[in-house]
Amino acid sequence: IAGITQAPTSQILAAGRRMTLRCTQDMRHNAMYWYRQDLGLGLRLIHYSNTAGTTGKGEVPDGYSVSRANTDDFPLTLASAVPSQTSVYFCASSDSFDNQPQHFGDGTRLSIL
Amino acid sequence: GQNIDQPTEMTATEGAIVQINCTYQTSGFNGLFWYQQHAGEAPTFLSYNVLDGLEEKGRFSSFLSRSKGYSYLLLKELQMKDSASYLCAALDSNYQLIWGAGTKLIIKP
């Protein structure tokens, strides 16, 4: 079934550790996004990629990095995790970086202790 | 600044109609999206409006007034499976989505 796959589903991590959240899509979408979702707040954009080889900063990029080596994969790395990064992380993709609907993965629930 | 406002929670009865309102303030505007999110799941796309007026799609309709910075999602013939959060999101001048916190809709039998 075509879609977006995120891994892991959930993770508990010690503060200060490095962590990479994986995201793969098989829809050949050009644009990809990483969001965090916290209780009582709307989804907040962390980083995005218009097309393979390019990335951009969203609303809350500090403490996170991304890469887009090919069309399908868009990993998100926390270089040194802090408790405030405890959240649910969603990866999404769209056909293009404009008004096309975004399709979401099932999310990664991350807890930093 | 950019802001999306929508009610935190609404309750409705199975078989009834409910309207979920959303007001937005963004730097530029390239359209308004509604998504549905069941608890513990991913958001799924419901509708997109960029022109003023009502767009109907089965039991769900979405309305936009650009001059008022206002949209609503109308759900008819409510079913128990419609219990979910409904997210309003506006596309700004940089084609980035600004999201509301979501409206949790509770359906009672």
At B12-40, the pLDDT tens digits run 999 999 999 999 999 999 999 999 999 99
Nearest 10 degrees: Cα torsion B49, B85, B4, A57: -90
- B73 CB within 8 Å of a chain A CB: no
Average pLDDT over residues B56-83: 97
- B33 CB within 8 Å of a chain A CB: yes
Count of alpha carbons within 13 Å of B90, Cβ hemisphere only?
24
Tokens encoding B106: 């509770």
pLDDT band at A40 (very low <50, low <70, confident <90, very high): confident
pLDDT band at A97 (very low <50, low <70, confident <90, very high): confident
Q: What pLDDT is attached to residue B31?
A: 96
Q: What percent of chain A has pLDDT over 70?
A: 98
Average pLDDT over residues A2-8: 92
Average pLDDT over residues A56-61: 96
A110, A87 contact by CB (below 8 A): yes
Residue whose pair of structure tokens reads 């549905």 in the numeric block: B36
Q: What pLDDT is attached to residue B91?
A: 95
From chain B residues 2-31, the ones with a CB under 8 A of any chain A CB are: 4, 30-31
Contacts A42 to B, Cβ<8 Å:
4, 87, 89, 98-102
d(CA B34, CA B40): 18
Average pLDDT over residues B94-108: 95
Q: What pLDDT is attached to residue A2?
A: 67
Q: What pLDDT is attached to residue B2?
A: 87
Contacts B101 to A, Cβ<8 Å:
40-42
Residue B47 has pLDDT above 70, yes or no: yes
CB contact under 8 A, A104 and B50: no
d(CA A73, CA B92): 26
Q: What is the full DSSP assignment across A48-101? A: EESSTT--EE-SS-TTEEE--SSSSB--EEESS--GGG-EEEEEEEESSSSSSP
Contacts B87 to A, Cβ<8 Å:
42-43
Tens digits of residue pLDDT in B52-65: 999 999 999 999 99
A63, B7 contact by CB (below 8 A): no
Nearest 10 degrees: Cα torsion B31, A94, B73, A39: -110
Q: Say which of A44, A45, A101 has its CB closest to residue B45.
A: A101
d(CA B107, CA B23): 23
Nearest C-alpha neighbor of A25 from the set A68, A60, A59? A68
d(CA B105, CA B95): 28
pLDDT band at A1 (very low <50, low <70, confident <90, very high): low
CB contact under 8 A, A97 and B95: yes
Closest-approach residue (CA) in chain B for A32 = B96
CB contact under 8 A, A43 and B97: yes
Calculate the average pLDDT of chain B.
96
Beta carbon pairs, A and B, within 8 Å: 46
